[in-house]
Amino acid sequence: MKSLLLLILSCLSVAGHVGVNDVFFEGLAGPYPLYITVRPPIVIPGIAEISIRSAARDVKSIQIAPMTLTGPGSKYPPTPDQAIQSSQDPQTFTGALWIMSAGSWQVRATVAGERGQGVISVPVRAASQKVTNMDTVTGAVLIALTLLLAAGLVGIAGAALREAVLPPGAMPDNNRLRRGRLAMASGLVLSAALIYFGNKWWVSESRAYARSIYRPIQMLSTVQGRHLHLQLSNSGAMQPRSIDDLVADHGHLMHLYAIREPNLDAAFHVHPIRQSPGNFLAQLPAMPAGKYRLFADIVHESGFPETLIGNIELISASPGPSQSPDDAGSILTSRGGLADGGKVIFESSPAQAGIPLTLRFRVEDPDGNPAANLRPYLGMNAHLAIVKKDLSVFSHVHPQGNISMAALEMTQTNNSTFPNNVLVSSHVQEATPRSVPAEFSFPFGFPTTGNYLLILQFARKDKVETASFDMIVQ
């Protein structure tokens, strides 16, 4: 039963996450702040639904276009579609775009307003996730129509050789009757052959499509002493994916979350180091004993992100320290409390499944003032892991959204082809030393109802802090 659950969870790994299909993004298109939601199709080819809300009131129009993330298609966009402005909320625009093949895509939005034009691209991962079955009524209607067409073909063939060339009112002789019966028999054989070979073609196409359903790369995890060994292997599904074409995201080839089961009372963010193609090694930080569910984020050079799933069990506590200074985590005992007496305030608001929202947090010092000395953690103001308590949902979210920042950087490279008079926003801040405000926000939409755990991580002085919160989604 446990193996079956892991298989189901693996098949639900979508958009570089587990159980989350939609893309949520917040950023600037030139001077215009946008909140973009992309709902990719679950079958490919399929239609992606786009919703864009502008925080500015002076946006006049938004055009959207689908493009591949890499290759020639990333440089030559198709004719864009005009997003439809809502009559009830003029700051909201919606549209739909065809995604024609599986792989890494981007949705480019070109905004026109009183302050000129701005462009932004959102990376989108497209993959077939299921085989949709035809409903019984539609199937019955199609079978009836097929039989009707076959009967029509037989009747037409018989009439063509029996009485079609006779004058009106003339009766066919025995020779024509015999030829008509022979034509009808031939038409019947032809109809049966068309139905038989058409069904074989349909079954072949259906099986080929079923083989294209996305399954993540498999990850075998083992613990030897203080070391975690991870071995990746290609599942062979969808399209061939290499296990040696990974690119760094926030300076690491892999971001691994280890969350203790069943109470989700300890969480660690670890960065294994690649030893050879498909093999990673991590020196575990100080972790308590127990069983852990592993979620590993990787990004291919095409910009295609994946989240891999594994399990480990620590018979005894790991003494640490970890090998990477970016590793962090703790036992989740105090919701929002910090070791120095400060705290993190989660400005929660009612959440509904399928409805985009913004998750907001505020860090205070022991005196209740905005915390100082915050610095970037892995190039971002903060990181947020969202886990449903039955482990059917996992998402690693940044202040820009639940997207791969490596893929976002690729979109910025693509946007560099625009003329200089068009404002193109850059969100890549990996190498920029800066101070960080004490407030964080994350765009996201919970896919299903239920109980969730939010794990926030940010850097303050020389320490990475971890705070956790519970949330109920209606």
Of 73-82, 273-282, 351-360, which range is least confident?
Answer: 73-82
Residue 213 has pLDDT above 70, yes or no: yes
Edge-to-edge strand ranges of the sheet holding 103-113: 81-82, 59-68, 103-113, 116-126, 423-424
Q: What is the mean pLDDT of residues 373-401?
A: 94
Confidence band of 381 (pLDDT split at 50, 70, 90): very high
Residue 393 has pLDDT above 90, yes or no: yes
Q: What is the pLDDT of residue 338?
A: 84
Q: How far apart are CA 74 and CA 50, in angstroms?
A: 19
Residue 445 has pLDDT above 80, yes or no: yes
pLDDT tens across 265-310, in order? 999 999 999 999 999 999 999 999 999 999 999 999 999 999 999 9
Residue 336 or residue 237, greater confidence: 336
Q: What is the pLDDT of residue 426?
A: 46
Q: What is the pLDDT of residue 333?
A: 79
3-state secondary structure the chain: CHHHHHHHHHHCEECCEECCCCEEEEEEECCEEEEEEEECCCCCCEEEEEEEEECCCCEEEEEEEEEECCCHHHCCCCCCEECEECCCCCCEEEEEEEECCCEEEEEEEEEEECCEEEEEEEEEEECCCCCCCCCHHHHHHHHHHHHHHHHHHHHHHHHHHHCCCCCCCCCCCHHHHHHHHHHHHHHHHHHHHHHHHHHHHHHHHHHHHHHCCCCCCEEEEEEECCEEEEEEECCCCCCCCCCCCECCECCECCEEEEEEECCCCEEEEECCEEEECCEEEEECCCECCEEEEEEEEEEECCCCEEEEEEEEEECCCECCCCCCCCCEEEECCCCCECCCCCEEEECCCCECCCCCEEEEEEEECCCCCECCCEECECCECCEEEEEECCCCCEEEEECCECCCHHHHHHHHHHHCCCCCCCEECCCCCCCCCCCCCCEEEEEECCCCCEEEEEEEEEEECCEEEEEEEEEEEC
Q: What is the pLDDT of residue 236?
A: 60
Using the structure block, give the residue that is written with the tokens 């990746």.
Answer: 232
Of 95-109, 151-165, 443-457, which range is least confident?
Answer: 151-165
Q: Are 23 and 121 in contact (CB under 8 A)?
A: no
Phi, psi torsion values for 104, nearest 5 degrees: -95, 125
Confidence band of 431 (pLDDT split at 50, 70, 90): very low
Q: How far apart are CA 3 and CA 107, in angstroms?
A: 37
Q: What is the pLDDT of residue 180?
A: 87
Residue 258 has pLDDT above 50, yes or no: yes
Q: What is the pLDDT of residue 323?
A: 80
Q: What is the pLDDT of residue 209?
A: 84
Task: State both tokens at 272.
Answer: 């294994």
Q: What is the pLDDT of residue 3?
A: 40
Q: What is the pLDDT of residue 2?
A: 42
Same fold, 22-126 and 218-419+429-473: yes
Chain mean pLDDT for the chain: 88
pLDDT tens across 38-50, in order? 999 998 899 999 9
Q: What is the pLDDT of residue 5?
A: 40
The domain ranges of the chain are 22-126, 136-211, 218-419+429-473
Q: Are 447 and 22 in contact (CB under 8 A)?
A: yes
Task: Work out the percent of the chain whose per-residue pLDDT is above 90.
Answer: 65
Q: What is the pLDDT of residue 369?
A: 93
Q: What is the mean pLDDT of residues 108-117?
A: 95
Confidence band of 131 (pLDDT split at 50, 70, 90): confident
Who contacts 188 (Cβ-Cβ below 8 Å, separation ≥6)? 150, 154
**How would CATH label the architecture of 218-419+429-473?**
Sandwich (2.60)
Who contacts 95 (Cβ-Cβ below 8 Å, separation ≥6)? 49, 50, 64, 81, 82, 83, 84
Q: Are 213 and 101 in contact (CB under 8 A)?
A: no
Task: Work out the percent of the chain whose per-residue pLDDT is above 70.
Answer: 91
Confidence band of 6 (pLDDT split at 50, 70, 90): very low
Q: What is the pLDDT of residue 10?
A: 40
Residue 91 or residue 420, greater confidence: 91
pLDDT tens across 403-421, in order? 999 999 888 776 666 665 5
Pairing mode of beta strands 218-224, 32-39: unpaired
Q: What is the mean pLDDT of residues 325-352?
A: 87
Question: Residues 403, 407, 411, 416: what is their CA dihedral angle, to the nearest 10 degrees?
Answer: 130
Q: What is the mean pLDDT of residues 359-370?
A: 93
pLDDT tens across 214-252, in order? 888 899 999 998 899 999 998 665 555 678 889 999 889
Of 14-23, 145-154, 157-166, which range is least confident?
Answer: 14-23
Q: What is the pLDDT of residue 280?
A: 97
Q: What is the pLDDT of residue 14?
A: 46
Using the structure block, give the residue that is written with the tokens 């029996």.
Answer: 162
Pairing mode of beta strands 423-424, 116-126: parallel
Count of C-beta atoms within a 10 Å radius of residue 450: 16
Q: Are 30 and 38 in contact (CB under 8 A)?
A: no
Residue 434 has pLDDT above 80, yes or no: no
Q: Are 159 and 177 in contact (CB under 8 A)?
A: no
CATH topology of domain 22-126: Immunoglobulin-like (2.60.40)
Task: State both tokens at 77.
Answer: 């966009």
Confidence band of 23 (pLDDT split at 50, 70, 90): very high
Residue 102 has pLDDT above 50, yes or no: yes
Q: What is the pLDDT of residue 419?
A: 63
